[in-house]
Amino acid sequence: MSRVNTNLGGTSIRLRPGIAKPLPKALLSFDVEEFDLPGEYGQGNLPSEETQIDVGTRGLTAVLELLDRTGVRATFFTTAVFAAARPEMIRRIAESPLRHEVASHGWSHSSFEERDLLRSRVALQQITGKPVTGFRRARFGEFDRRALAAAGYRYDSSDNPIWLPGRYNNFKKPRTAYRLGDLGSEGVTILPVSASPLVRYPLFWLSFKHSPMALYRLASQWVLREDGYLNIFFHPWEFTSLKGFKIPFVVRRRAGEKMVARLEAYLLWLKERADFDTLADFAVRWENQQALSLFKKS
The distance from CA 116 to its chain's CA centroid, rounded to whole angstroms, is: 19
Tell which one of 32, 138, 224, 259 touches Zn ion (CB under 5 A). Answer: 138
Nearer to Zn ion, 159 or 287 (CB): 159
The enclosing H or E element of 195 equals: none
Smallest gap from Cβ 105 to Zn ion, in A, equals 6
Tell me the angle at which helices 87-94 and 115-128 cross, rounded to the nearest 10 degrees: 70
Nearer to Zn ion, 205 or 276 (CB): 205
Nearer to Zn ion, 140 or 178 (CB): 140
Q: What is the DSSP letter of 203?
A: -
Query: What string of H, E and C letters represents the secondary structure of 32-58?
Result: ECCCCHHHHCCHHHCCCHHHHHHHHHH
Smallest gap from Cβ 251 to Zn ion, in A, equals 13
**∠ Cα 222 226 230 (to 5°):** 70
Nearer to Zn ion, 33 or 159 (CB): 33
Spatial CA neighbour of 134 closest among 144, 148, 119, 114: 148
Smallest gap from Cβ 96 to Zn ion, in A, equals 21
User: Is 116 a residue that touches Zn ion (CB under 5 A)?
Assistant: no
Stretch that binds Zn ion, among 46-54, 134-142, 145-153, 219-227 (CB under 5 A): 134-142
Smallest gap from Cβ 151 to Zn ion, in A, equals 18
Nearer to Zn ion, 51 or 290 (CB): 51
User: Is 270 a residue that touches Zn ion (CB under 5 A)?
Assistant: no
Residue sitting closest to Zn ion (CB): 31
Please return the burial class of 298, using the count of CB atoms within 10 Å of its CB with bins 0-12, 13-18 and 19+: exposed
Half-sphere exposure of 193 (CA within 13 A, CB side): 29
Nearer to Zn ion, 224 or 235 (CB): 235
Spatial separation of the C-alpha atoms in residues 39 and 46, rounded to whole Å: 4
Stretch that binds Zn ion, among 137-145, 158-166, 187-195, 237-245 (CB under 5 A): 137-145
Smallest gap from Cβ 23 to Zn ion, in A, equals 29
Sign, Cα dihedral of 87, 233, 36, 68: negative
Stretch that binds Zn ion, among 22-30, 138-146, 208-216, 240-248 (CB under 5 A): 138-146
How far lies 75's CA from each of 26, 60, 78, 79, 290, in Å? Answer: 11, 12, 9, 13, 23
The enclosing H or E element of 144 equals: none
Stretch that binds Zn ion, among 58-66, 136-144, 160-168, 281-289 (CB under 5 A): 136-144
Nearer to Zn ion, 31 or 238 (CB): 31
In the region spanning residues 32 to 51, those forming contacts with Zn ion, defined by CB under 5 A, are: 33
Strands (E), the chain: 2-5, 12-15, 25-32, 75-78, 101-104, 134-135, 155-156, 163-164, 168-169, 178-180, 188-190, 229-234, 275-277
Smallest gap from Cβ 136 to Zn ion, in A, equals 7
In the region spanning residues 215 to 254, those forming contacts with Zn ion, defined by CB under 5 A, are: none
- Total residues in contact with Zn ion, by rule CB under 5 A: 3
User: Is 31 a residue that touches Zn ion (CB under 5 A)?
Assistant: yes
Which residues of this protein are in contact with Zn ion, per CB under 5 A? 31, 33, 138
